[in-house]
Amino acid sequence: MKLASQEGLAAGNTLQEKLDALAEAGYEGIEFWGGGLAERTDEIRRACKDHPVQPAAICAGFQGCPLDADKRERDKASADICRLLELAGELNMAGLIVVPVFGSPRIPDLSPLASAVQLEMDLLLKLCEDWAHAAEKAGTAVLLEPLNRYETHLLKTLQDAAGICEKIGSPHIKIIADFFHMSIEEASMPHAIEKAAKHIAHVHLADSNRLLPGLGHTDFKSGFNALKNIGYTGYMSLECGNPNTDKMQGLKTSAQFMKQQMMP
Ligand code: LER
Ligand code: MN
């Protein structure tokens, strides 16, 4: 298991400074926001070449919403997702993080024919089939992200997302396990990880208060143990706030805390 961080959390002004700062603080991966990434691939490739910190994943950054009522919005999202998958493949990343819909349904309830959620799930399955082909061609994966009840109504547990992976049956449709959302929605984080084991291809880390791991009350040790037990070897990427006035010190202390929690 490799520690990573979203780019925005890294200390420094340039990408090179951020990569160097992350390496010094004990991290091995960097996760990028998808927006504007196409114009940065050369810079990223150059800066990451032979660097101890490697590109880990792309976090969303596509326009539109794949489950919007408006076909133009859906098509815009899907086209962007396919383009970002190409970039994720070119940069040798675990995949592109996709939240199918934030907030409430955007499509109408057509019950008794079909509820909004039934329509969303059917639509998502169709889209995942297309994305699986795009991801396979690019040599990467779609990373479906379950959130929590305050941020989405659709995918809220690892099992919700794993169910889609099972139905699609492609190694290019995977899930990301976000410790913050899991701490709200899962009855047991280790059990959820073990049950969704074969689909987990990326991890987000934040403590219970969505600050750096070590600053809240989430039990990272049992979560890390579960990841170890399922043989997870991918990235675990920080997606959280850093309240420390010395950003670098905050990242270093949190990395030390996480490494301690990974010990048997
Ligand atoms: C949103 O809460 C989140 O966890 C992000 O990773 C979604 O892109
Ligand atoms: Mn997340």
Distance 82 CA to ligand 1 centre (A): 19
Q: What is the pLDDT of residues 123-137, one digit of tens each?
A: 999 999 999 999 999
Is the pLDDT at 68 greater than 90, yes or no?
Answer: yes
What is the CA angle 124-172-43, rounded to 5?
105
* CA-closest candidate to residue 9, choices 257, 210, 171, 191: 210
Q: What is the pLDDT of residues 202-232, one digit of tens each?
A: 999 999 999 999 999 999 999 999 999 999 9
The three-state DSSP-derived secondary structure of the chain is CEEEEEHHHCCCCCHHHHHHHHHHHCCCEEEEECCCHHHHHHHHHHHHCCCCCEEEEEECCCCCCCCCCCHHHHHHHHHHHHHHHHHHHHCCCCCEEECCCCECCCCCCECCCECHHHHHHHHHHHHHHHHHHHHHHHCCCEEECCCCCCCECCCCCHHHHHHHHHHHCCCCEEEEEEHHHHHHHCCCHHHHHHHCHHHEEEEEECCCCCECCCCCCCCHHHHHHHHHHCCCCCEEEECCECCCCCHHHHHHHHHHHHHHHHCC
The pLDDT score that the predictor gives to residue 124 is 98
> Residue 151 CA: which ligand 1 atom is closest?
2
Q: Confidence class of residue 20 from pLDDT cuts 50, 70 and 90? A: very high
Which domains, ranges and CATH numbers included, belong to the chain? 2-262 (3.20.20.150)
For the entire predicted model, the pTM comes to 0.97
DSSP 3-state assignment of 178? strand
Calpha distance 111→129 (Å, rounded): 25
The verdict on the CB of residue 175 being under 6 Å from ligand 1 is: no
The pLDDT score that the predictor gives to residue 166 is 98
Q: Mean of the pLDDT values across residues 105-125?
A: 97
The mean pLDDT of the chain is 98
The pLDDT score that the predictor gives to residue 240 is 98
The pLDDT score that the predictor gives to residue 264 is 85
The pLDDT score that the predictor gives to residue 93 is 98
Q: Confidence class of residue 257 from pLDDT cuts 50, 70 and 90? A: very high
Distance 261 CA to ligand 1 centre (A): 23
Residue nearest to atom 1 of ligand 1 (CA): 147
The pLDDT score that the predictor gives to residue 210 is 98
Distance 212 CA to ligand 2 centre (A): 13
Is the pLDDT at 161 greater than 90, yes or no?
Answer: yes
Termini Cα distance of the chain: 14
Q: Confidence class of residue 117 from pLDDT cuts 50, 70 and 90? A: very high
> Residue 97 CA: which ligand 1 atom is closest?
8
Is the pLDDT at 14 greater than 90, yes or no?
Answer: yes
Is the pLDDT at 237 greater than 90, yes or no?
Answer: yes
* Strand-pair partners of 143: 97, 174
